[in-house]
Amino acid sequence: MDTSKKTSNVYYNREDSKKVDVSNDVWKNILSPEVYKIAREKGTERPGSSEFEYKKDVGTYYCAVCGNTLFKSDTKFESGCGWPSFYEPFSKTSIIYLPDNSYGMKRTEVQCGKCHSHLGHVFEDGPPPTGLRYCINGVVLDFEKAQEAEKKFDGKKE
């Protein structure tokens, strides 16, 4: 496992939502090869290969390239498609949408709204309330568990 990617990535920042516009030549030296391939060359990870696919922990998913907040765990669901799936992004600016007609299919590509990295695709066969399925490569996601305090608060409600 490559654990060096975040320490050397000066563009990774969870607090700053300013757009990140960095060339692939630069990214290539910062990101691990597997993240680079998917985020910058629109690759797809092997289905079923992500540790996040069945993850149920409460927390937040960030862009592994720039730290942008992408999804909350409460919008995650098990689609059985082989990739981590969500029905709604964290905010309107989390994600941008682009038509993708590659491989003879009409799909909608989703990219990070902050650094324009490729994340995956969105399909219209998701659960309510949105009916959408954001099918995301786990390689380009960073997960952080919710604070202990939040969890205790959730527990009190039961």
Residue from 100, 101, 74, 103 nearest 88 by CA: 74
Q: Which is nearer to Zn ion, 7 or 101 (CB)?
A: 7
Interface stretch with Zn ion, choices 27-35, 55-63, 83-91, 128-136 (CB under 5 A): 55-63
Which residues have C-beta within 8 Å of that of residue 119, sequence separation ≥ 6? 39, 63, 70, 95, 110, 111, 112, 134, 136, 137, 140
Number of residues that bind Zn ion (CB under 5 A): 8
**Residue from 38, 66, 132, 141 binding Zn ion (CB under 5 A):** 66
Smallest gap, in angstroms, from Cβ of residue 39 to Zn ion? 8
Q: Is 63 in the site for Zn ion (CB under 5 A)?
A: yes
Residue from 33, 37, 35 nearest 64 by CA: 35
Q: Is 40 in the site for Zn ion (CB under 5 A)?
A: no
> Phi, psi at residue 72, to the nearest 5°?
-100, 150
Q: What angle do CA 145, 146, 149 make, to 5 degrees?
A: 140
Asked if residues 31 and 9 have their Cβ atoms less than 8 Å apart, the reply is: yes
Indicate which residues carry an active-site annotation.
Answer: 135
Q: Is 65 in the site for Zn ion (CB under 5 A)?
A: yes
Q: Is 115 in the site for Zn ion (CB under 5 A)?
A: yes
Q: Is 114 in the site for Zn ion (CB under 5 A)?
A: yes
Q: Which residues contribute to the site for Zn ion (CB under 5 A)?
A: 63, 65-66, 68, 112, 114-115, 117
